[in-house]
């Protein structure tokens, strides 16, 4: 899925690493698309050519969210360590002589996991994804300048909310709790993300349809 387009971004000269960002609302299919892209590039050019680094590893821990009174807004821009994410992107752009470690996110634990991802020195493409890669808020506005391309992943809102409901119920919430969280947090977050669509260079859909921002 979009593998040929992503392959065209992979630099032919050594010492250059490309960062491709995928922005989009919660449950739009960003992580599924990112993994498919990385697997497709590695299948063509060899293992370790591409790496997947999600923004979700920079969720604040639940303990920090409780301290800040933000547990009920988990997933909003203020519930991420954006400075840490920006610092990682800078390292990925500049460091090619050693492995770069990045945090991952464990949905079963609902917590970030330190150094869960390793980006090897030979990686020539990094695909990163998250809700707020095109956001203009303090900290977030630095992300776009660190990416070579920023694509917007679009999906039907009803489909997204079905995925979110299943995700939250699987994560331990009751159906009622999950629907309340979607109403209070996920929908406002999605509206904020949708407003950044025009700031992206291209709009893509997990079903393979793409086009220019509108």
Which residue in 209, 38, 18, 28 sits closest to 132, CA to CA? 28
- By the 8 A CB rule, do 39 and 31 touch? no
- The whole-angstrom separation of Cα 72 and Cα 51 is 32
Tens of pLDDT, residue by residue over 140-170, are 999 999 999 999 999 999 999 999 999 999 9
- pTM of this structure: 0.93
Assess whether pLDDT exceeds 90 at residue 14. no
Specify whether the CB–CB gap between 169 and 175 falls below 8 A. yes
The structural domains of the chain, with segments of one domain joined by +, span: 3-204
Question: What digits encode the pLDDT tens for the residues 182-210?
Answer: 999 999 999 999 999 999 999 999 875 45
Residues 6+ apart with CB under 8 A from 119: 51, 53, 92, 99, 100, 101, 102, 126
Alpha carbons 182 and 164: distance in angstroms, whole number = 7
C-alpha 83/C-alpha 140 separation (Å) is 8
What is residue 54's three-state secondary structure?
coil
The C-alpha atoms of residue 122 and residue 98 are separated, in whole angstroms, by 9
Pick the CATH number of 3-204 from 3.40.50.300, 3.20.20.10, 1.10.3720.10, 3.40.50.1820: 3.40.50.300
Residues 28 and 14: their CA atoms lie apart, in Å, by 34
């Amino acid at each position: 899925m979009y593998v040929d387009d992503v392959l065209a971004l992979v630099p032919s000269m050594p010492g250059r690493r490309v960062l491709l960002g995928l922005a989009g609302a919660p449950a739009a299919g960003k992580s599924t698309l990112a993994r498919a892209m990385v697997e497709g590039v590695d299948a063509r050019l060899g293992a370790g050519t591409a790496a997947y680094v999600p923004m979700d590893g920079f969720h604040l821990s639940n303990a920090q969210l409780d301290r800040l009174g933000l547990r009920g807004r988990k997933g909003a821009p203020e519930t991420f360590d954006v400075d840490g994410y920006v610092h990682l992107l800078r390292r990925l752009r500049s460091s090619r002589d050693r492995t770069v470690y990045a945090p991952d996110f464990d949905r079963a634990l609902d917590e970030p996991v330190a150094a869960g991802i390793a980006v090897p020195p030979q990686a020539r493409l990094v695909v990163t994804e998250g809700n707020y890669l095109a956001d203009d808020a303090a900290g977030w506005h630095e992300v776009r300048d660190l990416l070579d391309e920023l694509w917007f992943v679009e999906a039907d809102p009803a489909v997204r909310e079905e995925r979110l409901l299943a995700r939250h119920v699987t994560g331990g919430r009751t159906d009622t709790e999950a629907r309340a969280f979607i109403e209070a947090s996920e929908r406002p977050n999605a509206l904020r993300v949708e407003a950044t669509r025009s700031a992206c260079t291209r709009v893509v859909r997990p079903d393979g349809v793409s086009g220019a921002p509108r």
